Structure 1
Amino acid sequence: MTATVPRPQVPADDALDGAGVLGDLRMSAPLTSALRSPLSPAVIFLATVIPVCSDPVIALIGGAGQWTHPLPPAVVILLAATACLVQAVAVTRLASRAVAGVLVAAGAYVAVAVLLGVPNWATPMQLVVAVAMFTLGSSRTATASIAWAAGVIAATVAGLGLYAQTAGAPPTAVMSFVLTEGTALASVAFAALVLGMLWSVHERRTHAARARALEVERLKEKEVEDSRASERGRIAQELHDVAGQHLAGLVSLCDASMDLAPAHPEQALELIEEVRAEGRYAAASLYGALGDLRAVNTVAHKPTPDLRSLSDLVTFWQERGMLLTETVHGDVAVLPTVVSTTAYRGVAEALSNAAKHAPGADVSVRVDVGPTRLGISITNGPARHARPGERELGLGWGLESLRDRLALVGGMLHTSADEAGAWRLTVKIPLTAPDGAIRGGE
């Protein structure tokens, strides 16, 4: 008898090797563990021994009046139970050697059906052969599995046919017996074989998906680490800017106070007071940058501030005595991230300069979000306690760095001052790409 079994069609997957759709598979660990459980052989043994030995047990209990087998019922029970036990042990303990398990399971079935001469009693043992076929299909390539299954089933059916002939049955009865038993065995065996193949494919896909998930997780961790490294670089640049602005200012003020001390001690004291104020601003700036650096090493750190945090920045300076007003036209939340963060840095730089060089002056911040351009204007009046020669002490520190940042997003920086000492800083950033497309949100 021949049986045509369709080979499962599986989409190509990088995780499946090149030896075919199924590849050179091995049985999955969960299935192997289940079959090797101490309960597995017991369950399989009881599932077969009870129906196989039911007739001889009834004959043994009720008497041998209806018993026609040449062997006593007790002997038949012992031999059949031994065959069932061998089957159960074979399909569980030989799970990693599926071919051997199939051969032993089929051999035990043939032994009960042919050698004991009770093929009808042995029919339940076909289910154990099917279990062995399942392990075969899940642990070998499709070609090898089908070849072994076809060979074993053909040999088993041939043994059943030979038994029927030697028993003296008519040819028609032999043919009917072989077709009935052979069809039943082939049906359950090949069905289990195909299920084993599909199980194997599912396991391979699951393994590949798990491997891909681990790879994605690894890449995500790498991206997080790269982001942290980039953030550390940004903070390092910020620390560099702080050192370049504040510390250079401190040195310049100290030099100026030393020059003025012999002839103008009062002005020298005023400059020393400026040194103290500058030191406070430097400490605040360094504290913020170092706080960001500490946050980088934590699991979750605050994102880089942008114009959405403008109110917090205004509040920060108002709490420190700056007479500061804020006006915003438009929705800053729709700005591209890189534009918003760069603009925020410009406002922070301008307010820092105003605090250093125009203490006590009125300061205003105006933000205009247009359809194609972002405009920011920071204006401060003259310092209420301006000192002669103060403009020569380095006004505009950090503006070159800010120009460089703005250039990266196509922005421009313009500064101006009037004769009274008022200062105005204007930032303009286009919101369209060079090709005219609106910039994305990231």
Structure 2
Amino acid sequence: MEERHPFRGRGGPPRWLAQAPESSASRLPWPSTVLIGAVVMIGSTVAARGQMDERAPLNLFARLLLLLAVAALLLRHRHPVAAVFGSSAAAMTYLTAGYPYGPVFLTVAVGCFGAVVSGHRRAAWTAVGTVWLGHVLVAHWLYRWLPLSDGRAASWGQELGIAAWAVAIIATAEFVRVRREQWADRRAERAAAERRRADEERLRMARELHDILAHSISVINVQSNVGLALLDSYPEQARDALTTIRNASKEALGEVRQVLDALRTPGDAPRAPAPGLDRLPELVEQAAGAGLTVTVEDDGVRGTVPPGIDLAAFRIVQEALTNVVRHSGSRTARVRIGHGPGRIRLRVDDEGPATGDDAGGSGNGLAGMRERAAVLGGTIEAGPRTDGGFRVRAELPLPSGPPGPAVRGEGTT
């Protein structure tokens, strides 16, 4: 079992780092702000002891400024711009008054971090740049007029250190912002891929159910009409029609159950193999039960055909014969299967003429055949012949690889 870190999602970044600010904007960040406040207050007291001869001692006003800088961080999720400018203004006032350097910079860093990762980069840069420029003006020009100044300008080395600190804070915040955007893009891509897979699976199931039901119901419809016509005068022939209906419905129920089982438990292997071209004799027998005589011709040497391509070829032939049963006045059809290097060619012809609506329209059956062929990189053509019949022609590519055991065509069925 995969071990999961308590602060890390499965295979992803730490939750505190990957979580977008707007996801927690409904609540104020009290725990982290209280912790930052404790660090700032205690750290500033310790820092003041080491700067007693250089900076002004901490007093009540200094404590209030530190508290204000920390309190502004409570708004960093809901109002990050106000938070970064509020903490920067309090920190700037604190430094201008000559109070000791120390963790006051932490409040500016946290405010800047929150503004950058929430998308307010210009506000964060402006706030941090204002703090640095304000410190430069105070330390090298305005210090002469400040009441708490010791009358000496600060060293430029100190200014470079503060500038490096500001650049490091902005760079860190920008890095986290970029990483969050990348993780968000990856999550969106994974979600889109999952939706595409779900849509493709639903479409595949819909094609399977359509092909199964359309063929079986067509056979049942034809045989029920035959049975009704012969019931009174030829009861034995009507019994044969009812037997065909029973067998067709039983087979259809079995295939539908197999599809639904696969839909309920997509992770399990199918309980029965998917139909393929080796089941064409059964298809021919079912067509014969519907009054259609089918001739099957194999051309070439058949090698190993992947199950997906084999199923698609079977369904294309099945749908083409179903259209003959439903829409053609002809009671004969010819199926030709050509096995060539790297491809399978299918051709289904009937003599016509059409008895109902034009079979070459945009019905679900022909659309399903085209989708099956397109998914596998194949092509399909369906349309009337010049002599009045109808033809379906498909070509499915085979994957390149070592040739499997060859099976020679058996000729005419």
TM-score, shorter chain, exceeding 0.5: yes
Does structure 1 residue 182 correspond to structure 2 residue 159? yes
1:163-242 aligned within 5 A: 163=143, 166=146, 173-176=152-155, 179-242=156-219
1:339-378 aligned within 5 A: 339-342=313-316, 371=341
The structural deviation recorded for 1:185 is 2.7
Q: Closer, same or farther in 2 for the Cα pair 1:333/1:299, shift >3 Å?
A: closer
- Asked if structure 1 preserves the Cα contact closer than 8 Å seen for 2:215 and 2:319, the reply is no
Does structure 1 residue 130 correspond to structure 2 residue 109? yes
Q: Closer, same or farther in 2 for the Cα pair 1:150/1:56, shift >3 Å?
A: closer
Does structure 1 residue 305 correspond to structure 2 residue 262? no
Partner deviation per Cα, 1:289-322 (whole Å, 9 max, x = no partner): 24444555666286862135679999xxxxxxxx
- Asked if structure 2 preserves the Cα contact closer than 8 Å seen for 1:306 and 1:344, the reply is no
Q: Closer, same or farther in 2 for the Cα pair 1:278/1:107, shift >3 Å?
A: closer
Q: Closer, same or farther in 2 for the Cα pair 1:194/1:289, shift >3 Å?
A: same
The structural deviation recorded for 1:82 is 3.6
- Asked if structure 1 preserves the Cα contact closer than 8 Å seen for 2:108 and 2:128, the reply is no
Q: Which residue is 1:266 aligned to?
A: none
Q: Which runs of 5 or more structure 1 residues have no equivalent in the other structure?
A: 1-26, 59-65, 259-270, 315-327, 349-366, 376-399, 411-428, 433-438
Partner deviation per Cα, 1:223-256 (whole Å, 9 max, x = no partner): 444444434432342134312443244345535x
Does structure 1 residue 118 correspond to structure 2 residue 99? yes
Partner deviation per Cα, 1:256-306 (whole Å, 9 max, x = no partner): xx2xxxxxxxxxxxx645543442332121122244445556662868621
Does structure 1 residue 276 correspond to structure 2 residue 239? yes
Q: Closer, same or farther in 2 for the Cα pair 1:225/1:338, shift >3 Å?
A: closer
The structural deviation recorded for 1:336 is 5.2
The structural deviation recorded for 1:49 is 1.9
| Overall identity of the aligned pairs, in % | 20
1:52-67 aligned within 5 A: 52-54=44-46
- Asked if structure 2 preserves the Cα contact closer than 8 Å seen for 1:112 and 1:118, the reply is yes
Q: Closer, same or farther in 2 for the Cα pair 1:160/1:98, shift >3 Å?
A: farther
Question: d(CA) in 2 for partners of 1:113 and 1:180?
Answer: 17
Question: d(CA) in 1 for partners of 2:263 and 2:344?
Answer: 33
Q: Closer, same or farther in 2 for the Cα pair 1:307/1:151, shift >3 Å?
A: same
Does structure 1 residue 155 correspond to structure 2 residue 134? yes
Q: Closer, same or farther in 2 for the Cα pair 1:145/1:102, shift >3 Å?
A: closer
Q: Closer, same or farther in 2 for the Cα pair 1:409/1:304, shift >3 Å?
A: farther
- Asked if structure 2 preserves the Cα contact closer than 8 Å seen for 1:239 and 1:289, the reply is yes
Q: Closer, same or farther in 2 for the Cα pair 1:211/1:330, shift >3 Å?
A: closer
Partner deviation per Cα, 1:56-76 (whole Å, 9 max, x = no partner): 679xxxxxxx987999x8xx3
The structural deviation recorded for 1:143 is 4.2
Does structure 1 residue 89 correspond to structure 2 residue 59? no
Aligned partner letter, 1:190: V
Out of 285, 305, 309, which is 2:248 matched to? 285
Does structure 1 residue 254 correspond to structure 2 residue 231? yes
The structural deviation recorded for 1:174 is 0.9
Q: Closer, same or farther in 2 for the Cα pair 1:126/1:164, shift >3 Å?
A: farther
Q: Which residue is 2:22 aligned to?
A: 29
- Asked if structure 1 preserves the Cα contact closer than 8 Å seen for 2:62 and 2:94, the reply is yes
Q: Closer, same or farther in 2 for the Cα pair 1:133/1:244, shift >3 Å?
A: closer
- Asked if structure 2 preserves the Cα contact closer than 8 Å seen for 1:99 and 1:148, the reply is no
Partner deviation per Cα, 1:13-71 (whole Å, 9 max, x = no partner): xxxxxxxxxxxxxx7235758x943221222122222231126679xxxxxxx987999
Partner deviation per Cα, 1:163-200 (whole Å, 9 max, x = no partner): 36646756xx5151xx2443333322232223333433
Does structure 1 residue 41 correspond to structure 2 residue 33? yes
Question: d(CA) in 2 for partners of 1:306 and 1:46?
Answer: 73
- Asked if structure 1 preserves the Cα contact closer than 8 Å seen for 2:117 and 2:174, the reply is yes
Q: Closer, same or farther in 2 for the Cα pair 1:222/1:69, shift >3 Å?
A: closer
- Asked if structure 2 preserves the Cα contact closer than 8 Å seen for 1:53 and 1:80, the reply is no
Q: Closer, same or farther in 2 for the Cα pair 1:199/1:312, shift >3 Å?
A: farther
Q: Which runs of 5 or more structure 2 residues have no equivalent in the other structure?
A: 1-19, 265-269, 285-297, 323-336, 347-354, 361-365, 370-379, 383-391, 400-413
Q: Closer, same or farther in 2 for the Cα pair 1:109/1:160, shift >3 Å?
A: farther
The structural deviation recorded for 1:126 is 1.5
The structural deviation recorded for 1:212 is 4.1
Question: SS at 1:174's partner residue?
Answer: coil
Q: Closer, same or farther in 2 for the Cα pair 1:346/1:210, shift >3 Å?
A: closer
Report the aligned-residue RMSD.
5.3
Aligned partner letter, 2:21: S
Partner deviation per Cα, 1:320-357 (whole Å, 9 max, x = no partner): xxxxxxxx974452565433445688999xxxxxxxxx
The structural deviation recorded for 1:79 is 4.5
Q: Closer, same or farther in 2 for the Cα pair 1:137/1:56, shift >3 Å?
A: closer
Q: Which residue is 2:397 aligned to?
A: 440
